[in-house]
């Protein structure tokens, strides 16, 4: 959703950023409110505690100057009673008077059942060491189990005839806590509402941009699928309207060019088909005359006889080109059909190797055939598959540069594959996909030793597609190339992988123990059941060193 929807991405990003900003602002606001409330409470509490401490000290000093000094209990009680009366009703604070000497039995008093555990040990130690007023925030604990947040202010106090004491004022912060809770709730509620409103506004604003963009994408998909009359609606005059206008103009120009290209393609196909058919009649006549001359070439002088031979070779090449053009025109017209039969590819490949033996001898190329499964049956059109494999073998022999050619055959329950590998000029990066283009050659300066038309691989690709198979190529410069034909066991059936590797095929050695058929087309047998030893028999087919 994040990758596919611009609306979701913009809305979510705005929502998250808004939540972050509102959170930061909310914490800042709460911090300032809390600081203001506590500072105000601190000032009033410290002022009240200082006044109470002075009042308590005056009471103690006055009691010490009288004719009779009261007992310690009466002194402590009088101080607590006097200071407790200052808190008012309801009580604004509580008072706790504790002895600083833990080894004596000096009396300790407090108001409203305040527990001594309310005073943190750190605060007591600070007062006893510094002999100065100190304060801190802590929970105020009562003897009945209640506790409230509070501010505790303490100071040293000297009780005559008893010793050092500590006077603590405990200020209840319930009211301040309620105020902070109210402010926090308001800030959180306002922040949530603000974030939701921002998200809704972002959604509405973004939709105004995203909806036209989605509409443009939808129109573009329909246009790319062949519906060339699709156009965007232009309702306004803003930037999006200008985009829609530009898109419509582009679509109109593209549609016009596509139609022109389609018409030109149809015209070219019709031209090729018509010319190919029209050339058959004069070619037949020329062929008949050339055959007569070729049969009688022995009665001609040497130059005339050689001219007749050249005429015969060029007529063969011209006839091959004409046949290929007619076949291409059938594919372009969609008139190509299959005549399928259950076929074993092993004898077919052996026949092809035997048929290409003269070409291999002329090029000093050795052809090796390894069948990893026998028999290898497949439902196909034998004529077309024979043509595909023959094309691959011819091309491999022509480009092997006198090294060698390996033909491998393997199958699995769903598919059968034939791989033809050579170790010659190879393919440059990006040429593997161009190899099946019409009239394309890897090396345009290379002599056409086989008189090829440049249409063989293009026809082979069309034949393979007609069977529902794959025809792929791979290679490296100077390391050779590999062409792999993969066919389904049953024509039109689906398969997911090829039984033979493609890229890895350059370093693949013939596995020991498999059934092999070896055709050495560059030498003769030395005797019955024997033949000359050759490095090709034992050396693995390694990359660059067959």
253 and 116 share a domain? no
What is the model's pLDDT at position 217?
Answer: 79
Q: In sequence order, what are the residues at sequence separation of 6 or more whose Cβ sits closer than 8 angstroms to the Cβ of residue 416?
A: 345, 376, 378, 409, 410, 486, 487, 489, 499
Where do the H-state alpha helices sit in 65-173? 72-85, 121-130
User: What DSSP string describes 310-366?
Assistant: HHHHHHHHHHHHHHHHHHHHHHHHT------EEEEHHHHHHHHHHHTHHHHHHTT-E
380 inside domain: yes
pLDDT band at 441 (very low <50, low <70, confident <90, very high): low
Residue 184 has pLDDT above 60, yes or no: yes
Domain identity same for 328 and 342: no
pLDDT band at 506 (very low <50, low <70, confident <90, very high): very low
130: domain range?
6-179
| CATH number of domain containing 271 | 1.10.287.130
Q: Are residues 100 and 172 in the same domain?
A: yes
User: Does residue 322 lie within any of the structural domains?
Assistant: yes
Judgement on whether residues 253 and 146 belong to the same structural domain of the protein: no
Would residue 54 count as lying in a domain? yes
Q: Which CATH number does the domain housing residue 38 bear? A: 3.30.450.20
Pick 57 or 454 by higher pLDDT.
57
Q: Is the pLDDT of residue 497 over 80?
A: yes
Q: DSSP string of 146-167? A: -EEEEEEEEEEEEETTTEEEEE
pLDDT at 508: 36
Percentage with pLDDT > 70 across the chain: 85
Q: For position 156, what pLDDT does the model report?
A: 92
The per-residue pLDDT for 136 is 92
Same domain? For 325 and 348 the reply is no
C-alpha angle 19/23/25, rounded to 5°?
120
Tell me the pLDDT of the chain averaged across its residues.
Answer: 79
Answer yes or no: is 326 within a domain.
yes
Query: pLDDT at residue 343 above 70?
Result: yes
Tell me, yes or no, whether 361 and 487 share the same domain: yes
Kindly tell me if the per-residue pLDDT of 56 is higher than 90.
no
Max mean pLDDT range (89-93, 151-155, 536-540): 151-155
Last residue of a domain, one of 179, 199, 230: 179
Question: CA nearest 236: which of 227, 228, 245?
Answer: 245
Number of domains the chain contains: 3
Q: Is residue 390 part of a domain?
A: yes
Q: What is the pLDDT confidence band of residue 348, given thresholds at 50, 70 and 90?
A: very high
Position 521 in a domain = yes
Burial class (CB in 10 A: 0-12, 13-18, 19+), 180: middle
């Amino acid at each position: 959703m994040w990758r596919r929807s611009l609306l979701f991405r913009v809305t979510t990003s705005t929502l998250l950023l808004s939540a972050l900003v509102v959170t930061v602002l909310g914490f800042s606001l709460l911090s300032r409110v809390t600081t203001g409330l506590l500072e105000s409470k601190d000032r009033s509490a410290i002022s009240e505690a200082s006044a109470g401490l002075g009042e308590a000290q005056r009471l103690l000093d006055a009691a010490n100057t009288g004719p009779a000094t009261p007992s310690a209990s009466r002194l402590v009680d009088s101080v607590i009673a006097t200071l407790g009366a200052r808190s008012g009703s309801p009580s604004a604070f509580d008072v706790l008077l504790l002895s600083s000497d833990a080894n004596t039995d000096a009396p300790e008093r407090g108001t409203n059942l305040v527990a001594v555990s309310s005073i943190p040990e750190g605060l007591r130690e600070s007062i006893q060491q510094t002999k100065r007023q100190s304060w801190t925030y802590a929970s105020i604990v009562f003897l009945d189990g209640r506790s409230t947040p509070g501010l505790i202010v303490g100071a040293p106090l000297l009780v005559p005839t008893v010793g050092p004491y500590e006077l603590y004022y405990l200020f209840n912060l319930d009211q301040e806590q309620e105020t902070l809770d109210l402010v926090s709730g308001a800030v959180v509620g306002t922040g949530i509402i603000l974030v939701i409103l921002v998200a809704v506004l972002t959604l509405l604003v973004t939709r105004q941009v995203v909806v036209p963009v989605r509409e443009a994408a939808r129109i573009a998909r329909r246009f790319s699928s062949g519906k060339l009359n699709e156009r965007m609606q232009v309702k306004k005059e803003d930037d999006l309207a200008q985009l829609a206008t530009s898109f419509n103009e582009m679509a109109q120009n593209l549609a016009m060019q596509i139609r022109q290209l389609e018409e030109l393609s149809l015209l070219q196909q019709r031209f090729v088909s018509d010319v190919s058919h029209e050339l058959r009649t004069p070619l037949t006549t020329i062929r008949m005359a050339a055959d007569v001359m070729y049969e009688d070439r022995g009665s001609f002088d040497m130059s005339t006889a050689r001219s007749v031979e050249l005429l015969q070779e060029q007529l063969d090449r011209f006839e091959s080109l004409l046949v290929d053009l007619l076949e291409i025109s059938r594919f372009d017209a969609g008139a190509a059909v299959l005549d399928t039969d259950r076929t074993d590819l092993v004898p077919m490949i052996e026949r092809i190797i035997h048929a290409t033996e003269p070409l291999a001898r002329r090029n000093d190329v050795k052809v090796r055939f390894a069948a990893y499964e026998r028999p290898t049956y497949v439902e196909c059109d034998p004529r077309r598959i024979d043509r595909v494999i023959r094309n691959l073998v011819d091309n491999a022999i022509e480009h092997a540069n006198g090294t060698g050619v390996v033909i491998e055959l393997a199958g699995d329950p769903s598919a059968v594959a034939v791989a033809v590998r050579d170790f010659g000029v190879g393919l440059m990066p990006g040429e593997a996909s161009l190899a099946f283009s019409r009239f394309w050659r890897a090396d345009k300066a290379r002599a056409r030793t086989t008189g090829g038309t440049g249409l063989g691989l293009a026809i082979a690709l069309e034949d393979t597609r007609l069977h529902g198979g794959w025809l792929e190529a791979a290679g490296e410069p100077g390391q050779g190339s590999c062409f792999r034909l993969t066919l389904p066991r049953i024509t039109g059936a689906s398969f997911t992988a090829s039984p033979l590797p493609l890229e890895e095929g350059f370093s693949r050695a013939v596995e020991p123990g498999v059934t092999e058929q070896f055709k050495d087309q560059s030498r003769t047998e030395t005797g019955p059941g024997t033949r000359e030893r050759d490095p090709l028999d034992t050396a693995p087919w390694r990359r660059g060193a067959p």
